[in-house]
Structure 1
């Protein structure tokens, strides 16, 4: 018979499983510092030796990393999603920028649809909270806070879709975006009129999610990212036109 005696789980194994789940579900994020050993042992209700055994196991498997005099952190497991050579290739070719946006449009449209159907009330409150912060940042002259919250808003939607594969894949993609691999995000927020349009688009996405309207949520995300693509294409054309205009000016001045 294929049955084995039931054995109680080691405390350290239970700790490992809990931390693994928190990382898998995106609750503990790359670079996030764990509480102190004493605090964490108290929260988990285990002895410090059991906790140390669990932390050592997770470190051996590359999920946690210890930093001298700083503590234990969630490892940057997303850093290996793309090889450095591929990242360099992305950054050097214009077509990758628009393929990236096309990919985001497909994935985030699906995520918004799932979030409207499957997201909990708390998920939607998180999205609403981030959007409220975006509205507050919109009043500032400096657009950097609003640009950062834009990424948080989109990631909150992906988190609310409750698909862990999509979550980690898209976090990795957003990390490349933050690093400017595909394009400079700040460019999108330089013009006041464009900032107004982007905020209105995010308001539409948020409204659809709060109303739990999957079809409208997907359309709103797809329309938003189509607008971003069009704006970036306009920037590329404007830069090319400016270069031609400089050449004409130099030629005219030399005549």
Structure 2
């Protein structure tokens, strides 16, 4: 008969599985420090030897990493999503930048649609809380805070879509965006008119998600990303025009 005795799972394996799920679901994030050994063993209700065995296995598998005199951290498993050579190509070619915007338009439209449909009440509360922070930051006119909250808002929607593959793929893309690989988000928040438009667009996205209207949420994301694309086109044209103007000015000075 194809039956085998059921054996109790080792405590260390239970710890491994729990940490795996927390990383997989995006709750534990790359670079996040785990609680101390004492605190973590208390929280999990396991002995320190069992905890150490689990941590060692997770380190061997590249999910956790230990830093001397600092603690144990979630490994930057997203860092390998793109090779350094490919990242350099992204940052130096306009085609890659516009492809990135088109990619976000499609994927985030789907994420907003799913968030409106599958997101829990708590998911929607997280999104709404971040949006209210965006409104507060808008009054302070700090482009750095606004740009960071912008990324957090979109990631919260992706998390609320409850698609693990989409979550990790988009998180890796946003890490590159935060690094300025694709374009400088802060530049977009320095123009008053642009800032106002962006806040209104995020308000429409939030409204679509909060009302659990998948079609409205997706349409609002598409309008927003189309605006971002056009703003980038305008920025590129303005930069080129300024470069030409500087050449003309330098030439004029040399003629004197």
Choose 120-129 or 88-97, whichever is displaced more. Answer: 88-97
Report the Cα offset of residue 14 of structure 1: 0.4
* In 2: Cα distance, 1:202 partner to 1:94 partner: 25
RMSD: 0.8
Using the alignment, how far apart are the partners of 1:160 and 1:25 within structure 2?
Answer: 11
- 1:185 shift after superposition: 1.0
How many angstroms apart in 2 are the aligned matches of 1:15 and 1:206? 36
Q: Which residue matches 2:236? A: 236
Q: CA deviation at 1:171?
A: 0.4
Unaligned runs of 5+ in 2: none
**Counterparts of 1:76 and 1:254, CA distance in 2:** 53
Partner of 2:199: 199
**Deviation by residue 1:70-113 (Cα, 9 ceiling, x = unmatched):** 11100000100001111011111111110000000000000000
Cα drift, residue 242 of structure 1? 1.4
Q: How does 1:3-152 map to 2 (within 5 A)?
A: 3-152=3-152
How far apart are 1:2 and its partner, in Å?
2.0
The answer for the alignment partner of 2:161 in structure 1 is 161
SS at match of 1:139: helix
Deviation digits for residues 9-32 of structure 1, max 9, x if unmatched?
100000000000000000000000
Q: Distance in 2 between matches of 1:122 and 1:88?
A: 38
Structure 1 counterpart SS, 2:140: coil
| TM-score, length of structure 1 as denominator length | 0.98
What is the TM-score of this pair, normalised by structure 2?
Answer: 0.98
Q: Count how many residue pairs are aligned between Structure 1 and Structure 2.
A: 255
Question: Which digits, 9 at most, give the CA deviation of each residue in 1:204-226, with x for residues without a partner?
Answer: 10011000000000000011011
Q: Give the equivalent residue in structure 2 for 1:219.
A: 219
